[in-house]
Amino acid sequence: MAARRFSPLFFRSLSAPSSSFLTRSSGKNGFSGRNSKGFATTAAAVEEIINPPVQVSYTQHLINGNFVDSASGKTFPTLDPRTGEVIAHVAEGDAEDIDRAVKAARKAFDEGPWPKMPAYERSRILLRFADLVEKNSEELAILETWDNGKPYEQSSKSEIPMLARLFRYYAGWADKIHGLTVPADGNYHVQTLHEPIGVAGQIIPWNFPLLMFAWKVGPALACGNTLVLKTAEQTPLTALYAGKLFHEAGLPDGVLNIVSGYGPEAGAPLASHMDVDKLAFTGSTETGKVVLELAAKSNLKPVTLELGGKSPFIVCEDADIDKAVELAHFALFFNQGQCCCAGSRTYVHERVYDEFVEKAKARALRRAVGDPFKKGIEQGPQVDSEQFEKVMRYIRSGLESDAVLECGGERIGNKGYFIQPTVFSNVKEDMLIARDEIFGPVQSILKFKDLDEVIQRANNTRYGLAAGVFTRSLETANRMTRALRAGTVWVNCFDVFDAAIPFGGYKMSGIGREKGIYSLHNYLQVKAVVAPLKNPAWI
């Protein structure tokens, strides 16, 4: 990317308090710092948009080591969620582009050096990529925020460092993948070989574009596979930039291929391609079903799915309420609520329920919403108009079902996709806002009486991705962690995503695990080698 560094003016805009979104007043703009409903936002404030000082240079597909146009010549716009305006036009992939990418990956696997390369050399390339991530962290963070809408401070201080950390973690695994010597009856020497599975197709979502890139690409490359990755059409820019950095790091041509496009035109051909040996998908449960069916109907390729969630966050009677409110707020509102494991069902014990609701409302009213490039902003816009409208429909559903709207529920400004932090109380189990994955800044607070009841209610869902428990009792924590049917249970914390911690779901939240040692299993074949021993050494 031909990108210039931040100007001093841009740094001033990030470091100086924003009168539009914080609680201080500004006579210059006429903002009081809080709107008529008490929010630390104003409708006019979201009109003050910072122009990111970078140029978008990588918008084509990456196929066989080259950036190329779509076979059809088509492009599609990727939009700035702060304004709805076009950032850049990106090559729009279809079945022909997917086929070109798969052929490149197949040739690189069958004939190229990557699977045959000493594992230590693969590790060194992954480490060089991590170094380049850190060297280019500013551009990556800007693009991630610009294309997705998440706060720049989140991108730059949390997600880009984690991106580098993940690839260093997988680099460490590359030369530690080995089989076993297996004892067997009779005079036989038996060993197992753990071999790369081949060409892996990967489809990543828009809510964490770079981190999901790492979760998929890291273990697949460490194991010696070649890849075709389809970006989310909402957020293609950072994966393409990362592909450029991988080739700077020395990745051979054809090992990592990246195609941008829509699900039906590009995702479906990748899922159903006969020469793809493995498929990994992160997205909604509904789309995951389609992906799984396409994979099964083609060549029965194994599929890893990380899908939706409706995670319970359980506040027990003995909880420190102030700390529980803050953690529950983070568990739901982080990343604009666009998190598959968001603690979107907040269960609170009846004896502390009223106090919790009042404090949760007050915390939501203090949440700073606005241009994600401004310092101190906690919440940016939703990713696009479709997601914005979906969240607003669920808010209307909550109102129609007689849940109590404690605060929020409205759009902020007249451009872009900003939504007020929204809190509902008096939420019942049969309401849509308590059953469906909203994927937005909408907190639903439910009341419970005892542990048996809340365990049953928490598990009464088609999802099982994650759960949170807030308690001072070790006995309660132990009981809850064993009783809750979820792939991750956080106790007195939430959204802890270390590179070594496996992540995945029960039930309709997915198949398989990502991160940690478990992620390697997704990209390896196990081969048993059996040979007779005519003259065993011990005879």
Boundaries of every domain in the chain: 55-178+189-306, 312-486
Identical fold for domains 55-178+189-306 and 312-486, yes or no, is no
What secondary structure letter does DSSP report for 4? Answer: P
Rounded Cα distance, 96 and 3, in Å: 31
User: Residue 331: helix, strand or coil by DSSP?
Assistant: helix
Beta strand segments in 465-509, E: 466-470, 488-491
Catalytic member of 306, 378, 406, 514: 306
For residue 286, indicate whether it is catalytic: no
User: Which residues touch 226 (CB under 8 Å, ≥6 apart)?
Assistant: 105, 106, 108, 109, 112, 114, 115, 198, 199, 200, 254, 255, 256, 257
Does this model's pTM top 0.85? My answer is: yes
Three-class DSSP labels, 194-238: EEECCEEEEECCCCCHHHHHHHHHHHHHHCCCEEEEECCCCCCHH
By CB atoms closer than 10 A (0-12, 13-18, 19+), residue 71 is middle
Name the 3-class secondary structure at 51: coil
Give the whole-angstrom CA distance, residue 424 versus residue 396. 11
If we measure between CA atoms, which residue out of 276, 288, 291 comes closest to residue 225? 276
Other Cβ atoms closer than 10 A to 184: 11
**pLDDT for residue 45:** 58
Which pLDDT value is given to residue 41?
A: 56
Nearest to 530 by CA among 181, 194, 195, 196: 181
How far apart are the C-alpha atoms of 350 and 468, rounded to whole Å?
18
Helix axes 451-459 and 474-483, enclosed angle (nearest 10): 30
Query: Closest Cα partner for 228 from 111, 87, 106?
Result: 106
- Which residues, including other chains, have CB under 8 Å from residue 342's CB and lie 6 or more apart? 309, 311, 331, 332, 334, 439
Spatial separation of the C-alpha atoms in residues 382 and 82, rounded to whole Å: 8
What order do you get walking across the sheet with 524-532 strand by strand?
A: 181-182, 188-196, 524-532
Predicted pLDDT at 55: 87
Query: Would you mind telling me the total number of residues written for the chain in this entry?
Result: 539
| pLDDT in the model for residue 43 | 56
What tokens appear for 200 in the block? 């892996």
d(Cα 207, Cα 446) in Å, to the nearest integer? 26
CATH 3.40.309.10 corresponds to the domain 312-486: yes
In a 3-state reduction of DSSP, which class is residue 456? helix
Q: Which two tokens stand for residue 4?
A: 């210039």
Angle in degrees, CA 288, 289, 291, rounded to 5: 60
Tokens 């104003």 label which residue?
42
pLDDT digits (tens, 9 = 90+) for 190-212: 999 999 999 999 999 999 999 99
Interval 65-86: pLDDT, tens = 999 999 999 999 999 999 999 9
Is 341 among the catalytic positions?
A: no
- Which residue, 204, 208, 215, 210, is CA-closest to 245? 210
Per-residue pLDDT 10s for the chain (539 aa) are 333 333 333 332 333 323 222 222 222 222 223 443 556 555 555 767 888 988 899 999 999 999 999 999 999 999 999 999 999 999 999 999 999 999 999 999 999 999 999 999 999 999 999 999 999 999 999 999 999 999 999 999 999 999 999 999 999 999 999 999 999 999 999 999 999 999 999 999 999 999 999 999 999 999 999 999 999 999 999 999 999 999 999 999 999 999 999 999 999 999 999 999 999 999 999 999 999 999 999 999 999 999 999 999 999 999 999 999 999 999 999 999 999 999 999 999 999 999 999 999 999 999 999 999 999 999 999 999 999 999 999 999 999 999 999 999 999 999 999 999 999 999 999 999 999 999 999 999 999 999 999 999 999 999 999 999 999 999 999 999 999 999 999 999 999 999 999 999 999 999 999 999 999 999 999 999 999 998 655 55
| Alpha carbon distance 267, 227 (integer Å) | 14
Catalytic residue among 316, 339, 340, 341: 340
Query: What is the rounded CA–CA span in Å between residue 444 and residue 429?
Result: 10
Q: What Rg value do the Cα atoms of the chain yield, rounded? A: 24
Tokens standing for residue 307:
């899908």
From first CA to last CA, the distance across the chain in angstroms is 66
For residue 166, CA distances in Å to 123, 268, 501, 514 come to 13, 28, 11, 12
Q: Write out the two tokens for 486.
A: 């979820």
Architecture per CATH, domain 55-178+189-306, reads as 3-Layer(aba) Sandwich (3.40)
Between CA 196 and CA 521 the distance in angstroms is: 10
Paired strand residues for 199: 226
